[in-house]
Structure 1
Amino acid sequence: MTDVLSDVLNHLNLRSVRCTRLEAAGGWSLRFSLRTTLKFVAVMKGNAWLIPDGQDAVQLFEGDTFFLANAAGYVVTSDPTLTPIDGLQAFDWDTGETACFGGDDTIMLGGGFDVRGDPIDFLLKAMPSVIRFSAQDHSATALRLSLSLLNNELENPKIGCDAASKGLADVMLVHALRAYAFRGDHPAPTWLNGLAHPKIRRALEGMHGNPEYGWTVDNLARAVGMSRSSFARTFTETVGKPPLAYLTQWRLERACAALRKGVEPMSNIAQAAGYGSESAFGLAFRRQFGISPGRYRNNHTVTDHVIADIGP
């Protein structure tokens, strides 16, 4: 069966950008603008405060990790009453990834993830704007292990450090999303909730593994051993939308990924999305995104860029 989380991340082409490390003591306060799609902040030693724009200050302790989605900016500080300076000035981007402020009473890691092209809403709408994993969160053991390895890589940089740190950040994100999916404190039903429900997960795996198949509520229910009515109700309550509405959304998300590559014939993309003709595909695409597939392809290109302002 298809691994749904891996399938989503592969189609979104989410990738990590530069990871950074901060050592500080005494009074300090740094502001960072967040241009990346998804950002993480982790405390490896000591404690600090995190103040996302428009939200209350939150105290972080050793072992705590925060993820921020689509935040305009944030402050990390030893004292919320201090006036922050530009965090970018704390880092020597040419010679190292660690910024030092008077000692190492507090050690923090930071990093970001960006996506090539749109839409990213499929993932972000399944997440709150802020997710916290505390040091006592037993579901996040693997997350903390990934962070420990990342900290060691940044503290003692060797050849291949950039590639290794980005790879570890990617692994950390998977562990974080996995832990969040099974944590059970989601503010609203989403497809991530569905991954924690054995039978709904099997239905999602079927749809992701064979999205062009003519799925119906009946054959999905049979595939997971549920009655039609019970399956439809449970799926909607868990995922937040009916089974076929979810299937349509995912088919079109996949189509967006194919269109951004700009090489596959439109007829092939339509067929892979489960549509018998380009016209039917075009109608469904415009209904979902308000733009034709051809125009979407012309407006979206996959580009590589480096985001620098992702410090802790």
Structure 2
Amino acid sequence: MLTLLETRSYLSVSLAAGGHWALRFDPPPAVKFNAVRRGSCLLEVDGVDEPIELAEGDCYLLTRRRPFTLRSDPEAVPVEAAPVFAGADGGIARVGQGDDVFLIGGGFFFGSRAQELLLDRLPPVVHLPAGTRHAETVQWALTSIDRELTHPSMASTLVAEHLAVVMLVHVLRLHLEREPHAVSGWLAGLGDRVVATALSALHRDPARSWTVAELASTAAVSRSTLAARFKATVGQGPLEYLTRWRIELAARQLREGSGTLASIAHSVGYGSESALSVAFKRVLGVPPGDYRKHQTTS
């Protein structure tokens, strides 16, 4: 799914802070992440009731474009973050007195379908505390990113950006383990062993003429069990999900401008252009030809 959504990462200026301080940030242009490499601070996100205490080793994702504030304590009066970061020196912005707090950060850009397929399935803030189960994997990625930024070598930026995507995958994995009920759709399905097996089969071979019985056999359960668990977690039946997955794959090919409608239809499991067109319009609301034209002109 992350490949389908054309996931790209970027790294931003780091932040060193100390004493009594607070920064108010505009809504980020993409999914934002920060990791506390030293010290502690508070995170406040518009629309989230309680502030989140961030300790050394913690990291978080902001999945909505909302203003947020980082501060040393509740009494600190925030200043606008943009001028502070515009005055960064050596890739580090500074606020307050000292540098007992240090954060690295960046973000993730996705393709046009990410909001519906991924971000709406997540809470506004994904907070991953240090010391939680398997968090050492995320810490490894963060430490490696920090090292690439602090001691740059050949292709350090490229390496760090790829490491950020690795970190994103592990953060999502750990979030699913810690809070399986805080997600929905296919992400929730990944938290169910039976449903995850069926999802993996559909993703691996979407052009196959799957039946519920075949998927149930793959997951080693009965048809009724698979259908019930798939519906309960993903929100739709396995064959309905397959249709939507095929259409997402076809839409990606149309956005890329590769292939004829006939070849795209065949590649995702439809026997003809007309069969693809009917399913495509039912799922995305427009015929594939109009979708391609809009993508190439926008």
> Same fold by TM-score, threshold 0.5 exceeded?
yes
1:308 aligns with none
Residue 70 of structure 1 is matched in structure 2 by: 64
How far did 1:119 drift?
4.6
Assess, with a 3 A threshold, how the Cα gap between structure 1 residues 180 and 188 changes in structure 2: closer, same or farther.
closer
Cα distance in 2, alignment partners of residues 151 and 12 from structure 1: 26
> Which one scores higher on RCO, CA 8 angstroms, separation ≥ 6?
1
Residues 8-40 of structure 1 deviation map (CA, whole Å, 9 limit, x = unaligned): 111111110233311111222222233433211
Residues 69 and 97 of structure 1, relative CA distance in 2, 3 Å threshold: same
Distance 1:11 1:262, change over 3 A: same
State the superposition RMSD in angstroms.
2.3
Aligned partner of 2:5 in structure 1 is 12
2:34 corresponds to which of 16, 41, 55:
41
- Greater displacement, 192-201 / 285-294: 192-201
Superposition pairs of residues 124-135 of structure 1, within 5 angstroms: 124-135=119-130
The alignment partner of 2:53 has SS state of: strand
Q: Displacement of 1:100 after TM fit?
A: 2.1
Looking at structure 2, the residues matched to 182 and 266 of structure 1 have their Cα atoms a distance apart, in angstroms, of 40
Superposition deviation, residue 213 in structure 1 = 1.0
Please list, as runs of the form range in 1=range in 2, the aligned pairs for 1:91-110 lying within 5 A after superposition. Answer: 91-92=85-86, 96-101=90-95, 102-110=97-105
Query: How far is the alpha carbon of 1:92 from its aligned partner?
Result: 4.9
Contact 2:88–2:94 (8 Å) recurs in 1: no
Counterparts of residues 22-41 of structure 1 (less than 5 Å): 22-41=15-34
SS of 1:9's partner is coil
Alignment deviations for residues 98-130 of structure 1 (CA, whole Å, 9 cap, x no partner): 112232111112210001333542122332221
Counterpart secondary structure, 1:27? coil
SS in 2 for 1:182: helix
Structure 1 pair 119–43 and aligned structure 2 pair: CA distance change class (3 A): closer
| Alpha-carbon displacement from aligned partner over 1:191-219 (angstroms, at most 9, x marks no partner) | 22332333322211111111011111111
5+ residue gaps, structure 2, are none
- What is the aligned partner in structure 1 of residue 269 from structure 2? 274
Q: Percent of counterpart pairs with the same letter?
A: 38
Provide the secondary structure at the position in 1 that maps to 2:165: helix
Counterpart amino acid of 1:226?
Answer: V
CA distance in 2, matches of 1:170, 1:201: 21
1:123 maps onto 2:108 in alignment:
no
Q: Deviation per CA, 1:218-252: give whole Å up to 9, x if none.
A: 11112222111111112222323211121112111
1:21, 1:154 within 8 Å by CA — same for their partners in 2? no
Find the counterpart in structure 2 of residue 309 from structure 1: none
Aligned AA for 1:113?
F
Deviations 1:141-192 (A, max 9, x none): 2012211221222233344332122122111111111222333432254322
Report deviation, 1:94: 8.3
